[in-house]
């Protein structure tokens, strides 16, 4: 077994290199479609693996396992809720995005509503969310693991990881990201299953596991003359139930069903990182099959991350479940709790050297997987939605360079943000991420949902819905951070009217307010004529009429400028060094004869085609129904 694990560990590096160069050779990275959408040639299994790997980052291994150690299995409901929304993504949203012929989500809204302000607003907001939640959480989580596992300096480890990550993202484009995601998914699943086996071997069967978890109380529960409230260190009575009390529950069941569904719709159906993988599929059947594969993989985290996190509390109770500030400071460097180290602690203490190395590879793989996904998608947003507003008519080569340069800027910001993330090491990492998305994500979800399914919604309604939602969410977020979230030992003094509403309930309220504003303003202003909406909303998805895009004038100007820039290109043959540099960075544009109007129309039709072979359409539809049935069963079984 040890030899096999060492083989997997070292050969995974070799295979990653092979995948990387295969991606560089097999896709045209010198075009926007090739770099950002992998030439729309991906088959179902890399799509499914990449969707899973993009979602399951080191934040899951550290944050979710830590939350499970503190509160039980309810956090697994976050994973199983995704089983429903990957089906919604593949069957309802992606067909509209493909028919619209878009590369980014803000670009879809520009075609749907016209104007530039919504597109720029969403692009900037998405980049802010990427930097201050996704990137910071992944870097922090990876650093927690690396520090505990090998004692490497925090900043040295982060810089090395970011450098490696940036190398194959900047040079390889989306194809390299998807291929490496596929391999890393295999590494993550295998390594996590092995650790789960070791964990259950220590505690026994499931009944014994439940009994021991409820008895996992730390020995040190007082300091000085202060005795800590038993609620702070005693396992919850509902630890093995997903659905919890709507008032006193840490994850109340109405919030888990409705509030979480809003956040899941924002993440799975409108987020650039996720949707971009689906847009790379060679046809709709492959997209749907990839979503189904991701759904089945999402069944696993409950067993390979959540339960091992709870077992870590059983095995290392005084460390993982510590409540005395001085004791926690000694064990994990923070005074408010050490649940974040639940998963890495078990890896370091429980596994032999060879397997420990494999699990380190798993963590590094998940960290790099998430970061590459975010870097590539953030670069796409900046290049296509923001840079083109700064430089109105850039050449194809300039767009490629701008995308790579922005990735370097993201890396710099990420490293600069590390001290802030480190100071926020409070044992509330996962709650921090979810609360921020609850305050900023619901208005976006409302706009996309109504844009696709209600053709009466117009630009004014969408914009003011986003503005009202943003101000409402920011007011709650700023107030909560100003007062501090506190913890069980030292509760926050934030007024109940501001902070007392659970963030999942707040997501429901914010979604409702945003939707009402969108609909009210839209019905009080002029509707968008159908000629601008063909194949952009659900009721007109099968229209055959020619659509006149609301941004058609702007697109015509861009096409004219592209023609001029091509004519102005220096035709001088580059030297060998320049050729090598251009190939490595994907800037060799491989010029061929210019396509005629008929050929351009044929290519556009191919890229916006959502037709399916009847046999495979039935196969994926049946699997979609099975996946939804499994989701309902899992929720009911652990309710």
Cα dihedral 423, 424, 427, 433 sign: negative
- Give the per-residue pLDDT at 599: 58
DSSP structural state of residue 207: H
Cα dihedral 75, 371, 377, 417 sign: positive
Domains of the chain listed by start with CATH number: 2-223+231-421 (1.20.1730.10)
Q: What Å distances lie between residue 48 and 183, 265, 293, 321, CA to CA?
A: 12, 18, 5, 36
Cβ atoms of residues 498 and 476 within 8 Å: yes
Helix (H, G, I), strand (E, B) or coil at 70: helix
pLDDT means over runs of 10, the chain (639 residues): 42 43 43 50 84 80 88 92 94 92 84 86 81 77 74 70 65 59 74 90 92 91 78 88 90 93 94 84 90 94 94 93 84 79 87 78 69 75 80 78 81 72 58 85 95 95 94 88 72 78 94 97 95 91 86 58 49 55 47 56 70 90 95 92
Cβ atoms of residues 365 and 188 within 8 Å: yes
Cα dihedral 321, 324, 329, 334 sign: positive
- Give the per-residue pLDDT at 406: 84
End-to-end CA distance of the chain: 37
Per the structure block, which two tokens stand in for 514? 């945003």
Helix, strand, coil shares, percent, the chain, to 5? 75, 0, 25
DSSP structural state of residue 281: B
- Give the per-residue pLDDT at 36: 46
Distance CA(43)–CA(81), nearest Å, equals 25
């Amino acid at each position: 077994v040890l030899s096999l694990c060492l083989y997997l560990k070292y050969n995974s590096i070799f295979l990653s290199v092979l995948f990387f160069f295969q991606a560089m050779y097999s896709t045209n990275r010198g075009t926007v479609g090739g770099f950002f959408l992998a030439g729309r040639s991906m088959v179902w299994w890399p799509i499914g693996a990449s969707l899973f790997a993009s979602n399951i980052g080191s934040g899951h291994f550290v944050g979710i396992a830590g939350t499970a150690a503190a509160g039980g299995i309810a956090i697994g409901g976050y994973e199983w809720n995704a089983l429903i929304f990957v089906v919604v993504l593949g069957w309802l949203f992606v067909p509209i995005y493909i028919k619209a012929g878009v590369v980014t989500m803000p670009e879809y809204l520009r075609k749907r509503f016209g104007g530039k302000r919504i597109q720029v607003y969403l692009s900037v907001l998405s980049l802010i969310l990427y930097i201050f939640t996704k990137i910071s959480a992944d870097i922090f989580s990876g650093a927690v693991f690396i520090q505990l596992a090998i004692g490497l300096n925090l900043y040295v480890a982060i810089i090395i990881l970011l450098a490696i990550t940036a190398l194959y993202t900047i040079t390889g484009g989306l194809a390299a990201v998807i291929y490496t995601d596929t391999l890393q998914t295999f590494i993550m699943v295998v390594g996590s299953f092995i650790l789960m086996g070791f964990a259950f071997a220590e505690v026994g069967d499931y009944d014994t596991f439940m009994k021991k978890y409820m008895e996992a109380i730390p020995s040190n529960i007082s300091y000085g003359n202060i005795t800590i409230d038993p609620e702070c260190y005693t396992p919850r009575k509902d630890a093995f139930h997903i659905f919890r009390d709507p008032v006193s529950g840490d994850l109340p069941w109405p919030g888990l069903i409705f509030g979480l569904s809003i956040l899941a719709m924002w993440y799975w159906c409108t987020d650039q990182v996720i949707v971009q993988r689906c847009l790379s599929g060679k046809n709709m059947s492959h997209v749907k099959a990839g979503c189904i594969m991701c759904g089945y993989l999402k069944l696993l985290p409950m067993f390979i991350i959540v339960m091992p996190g709870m077992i870590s509390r059983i095995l290392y109770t005084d460390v993982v479940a510590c409540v005395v500030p001085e004791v926690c400071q000694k064990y994990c460097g923070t005074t408010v709790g050490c649940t974040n180290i639940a998963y890495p602690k078990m890896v370091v203490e429980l596994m032999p050297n060879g397997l420990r190395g494999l699990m380190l590879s798993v963590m590094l793989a998940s960290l790099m997987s998430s970061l590459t996904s975010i870097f590539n998608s953030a670069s796409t947003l900046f290049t296509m939605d923001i840079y083109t507003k700064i430089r109105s008519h850039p050449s194809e080569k300039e767009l490629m360079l701008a995308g790579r340069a922005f990735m370097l800027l993201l890396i710099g910001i990420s490293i600069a943000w590390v001290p802030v993330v480190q100071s926020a090491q409070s044992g509330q990492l996962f709650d921090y991420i979810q609360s921020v998305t609850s305050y900023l994500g619901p208005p976006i979800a409302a706009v996309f949902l109504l844009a696709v399914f209600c053709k009466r919604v117009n630009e004014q309604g969408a914009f003011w819905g986003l503005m009202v939602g943003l101000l409402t969410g920011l007011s709650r977020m700023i107030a909560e951070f100003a007062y501090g979230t506190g913890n069980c030992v030292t509760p926050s003094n934030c007024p109940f009217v501001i902070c007392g509403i659970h963030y999942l309930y707040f997501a429901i309220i914010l979604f409702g307010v945003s939707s009402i504003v969108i609909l009210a303003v839209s019905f009080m202003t002029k509707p968008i004529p159908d000629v601008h909406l063909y194949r952009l909303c659900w009721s007109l998805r099968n229209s055959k009429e020619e659509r006149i895009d609301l941004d058609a004038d702007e697109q015509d100007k861009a096409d004219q400028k592209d023609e001029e820039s091509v004519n102005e290109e220096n035709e001088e043959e580059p030297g060998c060094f320049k050729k090598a540099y251009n190939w490595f960075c994907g800037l060799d544009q491989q010029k061929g004869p210019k396509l005629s109007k008929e050929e351009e129309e044929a290519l556009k039709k191919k890229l916006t085609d959502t037709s399916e072979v009847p046999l495979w359409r039935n196969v994926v539809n049946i699997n979609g129904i099975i996946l939804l049935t499994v989701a309902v069963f899992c929720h009911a079984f652990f309710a």
